[in-house]
C-alpha cells in the first residue's frame, strides 16, 4: 500500500487516491480533463482540509519557473508551483520586489493567493492583491486567461478561489522596485497602549507584528519592519510606546532559539530576507503546531483584544503564541479582508487537536460580535452558515464556480461545507 501524503503540520492526511507531479501545462490539461475529481496542491502549508480531495491531487512543484519579468508593465509572470522563497531572490537580483510577504517564504505563490494569505502593514493588502492575471486549467482541460484589465469585477472572484475554479498554472504579479528593510524588535508593550494608540503603533513601520500569549495585559514582542530610505533614521528609537529594544535576536515563541528567524537588530537587508519572520532554509514557526486566525474590521480591534484576553485561562494550556497584524482591505470576493481594513488575530496552538477544537468554539463565540472571518487555510470550527453570512460576494462566487466547474470536479468537502454546497 502506498503511503498517503500529509500536510506540512501533519494534522491532515489527504484523502487523494493519487498525487501527480506534471512537468508541463499540457500534462496538467490532460490530467484535469481525464479525471473526475481533482484538486491543485500547493506547498501543503494549510492546516484546514481546503486542499484535500478524494480524487487526484495535482502538485505543480515541478512547474516552478519564473517565466518573464516585464520591466515596462512592472510585472512578473511565474509558473503555478513556484514558492516565494524561490521567487524572491530572482526578483531582487533583477531590481524588483513584491510589496509584501507572509511570515514564511516556504509557501507556493498560487497556494497563498488561493487562500487570501497575508503579511502585515496598514497599507499592504493580502498577497493576492498583487495578482494581475492568471492562467487556469478549468474542468474540461482548457486553458483560460483571466486578467484584472479584461475581467474587472470577475477577476476579483478568481484570485482567492480556494482551488475551486481550476489549476492555476501561471500568475502575473505586480512589482515594485527592490527595496531594503531593517527589522527591529521591542519587548513588553502595554496592551493598553496598543488599544489607545492602535493607528500610531501599527502605522509606525511598513510592516508591524505584535506577539503575545495573552497571559497578561502586555504584548511581549513588537516586530517593526521599516523600509530603508534616505529620510528614515538609521537608529531605532530607544523606546517604543513603553516597550524597550530587544538586546538579542528573538523567536516569536520566546523559548525557541532565533536562528530560524530573519535578521533583526536593525541590520538592513533585501526585502525578501526581512519581510518574512522565518528563513527559507529553516523550519518556520515551531514546526509542532496547529494554527488559527481571525480577521476583524479595524474599528473592532480593541473589543476583539479584550474578548481574547478574557479567555486567557482557556488559552494558556494550548497556546504557543499569538500574533496581531494589520491588513489593508481589498475587493477580492473571498478574501478575509474583503471590504474592510482588518486586524488579524493569529494563534499558534500546540498540536493537540482535541484540546484546540475544544477551545475554538469559545474563541469564535467571543469574536462573533466583531464579525470575525476565519483564515481559510487554518483550523476553525465556525458553523458553515455563520461563515457564509460573513462574505457578501459568496453567492457571486458560487455562480462563478458553477460556470467554470459545472460537474464539481474541483469541489471537496471543505468547499461543499463552506462555499459551494453539494
Ligand X SMILES: Cc1cc2nc3c(=O)[nH]c(=O)nc-3n(C[C@H](O)[C@H](O)[C@H](O)COP(=O)(O)OP(=O)(O)OC[C@H]3O[C@@H](n4cnc5c(N)ncnc54)[C@H](O)[C@@H]3O)c2cc1C
Q: Which of 16, 98, 104, 246 binds ligand X (CB under 6 A)?
A: 104
**Residue 69 and residue 66: Cα distance in Å, rounded?**
8
Considering only residues 36 to 65 of the shown chain, the ones binding ligand X according to CB under 6 A are 39-46, 50-51, 60
Phi and psi torsions of 416, nearest 5°: -65, -35
**Residue 83 and residue 42: Cα distance in Å, rounded?**
9
Q: Which secondary structure element, helix H or strand E, spans residue 68, and what is its range?
A: strand 66-70
Smallest separation, CB 43 to ligand X (Å): 4
Task: Answer yes or no: are the C-beta atoms of 296 and 114 closer than 8 Å.
Answer: no
Examine residue 111 and tell whether it contacts ligand X (CB under 6 A). yes
**Taking contact as CB under 6 A, which single stretch among the options 108-116, 139-147, 265-273, 401-409 is the one that binds ligand X?**
108-116
**Taking contact as CB under 6 A, which single stretch among the options 91-99, 111-119, 220-228, 295-303 is the one that binds ligand X?**
111-119
Q: Which residue bears the cell 533583526? A: 264
Nearer residue to ligand X within complex by CB, 169 or 236: 169
Q: Using CB atoms within 10 A of its CB, is residue 41 exposed (0-12), middle (13-18) or buried (19+)? A: buried
Nearer residue to ligand X within complex by CB, 99 or 236: 99
Q: Which of 25, 82, 97, 114 binds ligand X (CB under 6 A)?
A: 114
User: What 3-state DSSP class applies to 56?
Assistant: strand
Examine residue 401 and tell whether it contacts ligand X (CB under 6 A). no
Examine residue 329 and tell whether it contacts ligand X (CB under 6 A). no
- Could you please report the per-residue DSSP string of 200-249? HHHTSSSEEEEEE-SSSSEEEEEEEEEE--TTS-SSPPS-BTTBEE-SS-
Examine residue 8 and tell whether it contacts ligand X (CB under 6 A). yes
Nearer residue to ligand X within complex by CB, 182 or 325: 325
Nearer residue to ligand X within complex by CB, 187 or 293: 293
Task: Answer yes or no: are the C-beta atoms of 394 and 415 closer than 8 Å.
Answer: no
Examine residue 112 and tell whether it contacts ligand X (CB under 6 A). yes
Residues that bind ligand X (CB under 6 A): 8, 39-46, 50-51, 60, 80, 102-104, 107-108, 110-112, 114-115, 117-118, 162-163, 167-168, 284-285, 291, 375, 377
Amino acid at each position: 500500500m502506498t503511503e498517503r501524503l500529509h500536510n506540512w503540520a501533519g494534522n491532515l492526511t489527504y484523502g487523494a487516491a493519487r498525487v501527480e507531479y506534471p512537468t508541463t501545462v499540457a500534462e496538467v490539461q490532460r490530467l484535469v480533463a481525464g479525471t473526475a475529481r481533482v484538486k491543485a496542491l500547493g506547498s501543503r502549508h494549510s492546516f484546514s482540509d481546503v486542499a484535500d480531495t478524494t480524487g487526484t491531487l495535482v502538485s505543480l512543484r515541478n512547474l516552478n519557473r519564473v517565466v518573464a519579468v516585464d520591466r515596462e508593465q512592472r510585472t512578473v509572470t511565474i509558473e503555478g508551483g513556484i514558492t516565494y522563497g524561490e521567487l524572491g531572490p530572482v526578483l531582487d537580483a533583477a531590481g524588483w520586489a513584491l510589496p509584501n510577504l507572509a511570515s514564511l517564504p516556504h509557501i507556493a505563490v498560487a497556494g497563498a493567493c488561493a487562500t487570501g494569505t497575508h503579511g502585515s502593514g496598514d497599507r499592504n493588502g493580502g498577497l493576492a492583491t498583487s495578482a494581475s492575471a492568471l492562467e487556469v486549467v478549468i474542468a474540461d482541460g482548457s486553458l483560460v486567461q483571466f486578467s484584472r484589465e479584461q475581467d474587472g469585477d470577475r477577476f476579483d472572484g478568481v484570485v482567492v478561489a480556494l482551488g475551486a475554479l481550476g489549476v492555476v498554472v501561471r500568475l502575473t504579479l505586480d512589482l515594485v522596485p527592490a527595496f531594503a528593510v531593517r527589522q527591529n524588535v521591542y519587548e513588553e508593550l502595554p496592551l493598553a497602549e496598543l488599544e489607545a494608540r492602535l493607528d500610531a503603533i501599527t502605522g509606525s513601520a511598513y510592516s508591524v507584528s505584535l506577539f503575545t500569549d495573552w497571559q497578561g495585559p502586555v504584548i511581549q514582542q513588537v516586530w517593526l519592519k521599516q523600509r530603508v530610505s534616505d529620510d528614515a533614521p538609521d537608529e531605532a528609537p530607544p523606546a517604543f510606546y513603553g516597550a524597550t529594544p530587544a538586546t538579542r535576536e528573538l523567536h516569536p515563541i520566546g523559548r525557541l532559539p532565533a536562528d530560524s528567524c530573519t535578521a533583526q537588530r536593525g541590520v538592513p537587508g533585501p526585502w525578501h530576507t526581512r519581510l518574512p519572520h522565518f528563513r527559507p532554509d529553516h523550519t518556520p514557526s515551531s514546526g509542532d503546531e496547529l494554527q488559527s486566525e481571525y480577521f476583524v474590521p479595524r474599528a473592532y480591534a480593541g473589543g476583539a483584544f479584550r474578548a481574547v484576553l478574557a479567555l486567557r485561562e482557556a488559552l494558556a494550556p494550548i497556546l504557543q503564541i499569538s500574533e496581531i497584524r494589520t491588513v489593508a482591505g481589498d475587493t477580492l470576493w473571498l478574501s478575509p479582508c474583503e471590504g474592510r481594513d482588518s486586524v488579524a488575530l493569529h494563534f499558534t496552538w500546540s498540536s493537540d487537536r482535541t484540546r484546540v477544537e475544544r477551545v475554538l468554539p469559545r474563541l469564535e463565540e467571543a469574536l462573533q460580535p466583531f464579525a470575525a472571518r476565519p483564515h481559510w487555510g487554518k483550523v476553525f470550527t465556525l458553523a458553515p452558515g455563520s461563515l457564509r453570512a460573513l462574505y457578501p460576494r459568496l453567492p457571486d462566487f458560487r455562480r462563478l464556480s458553477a460556470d467554470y466547474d459545472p460537474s464539481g470536479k474541483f469541489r471537496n468537502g471543505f468547499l461543499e461545507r463552506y462555499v459551494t454546497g453539494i
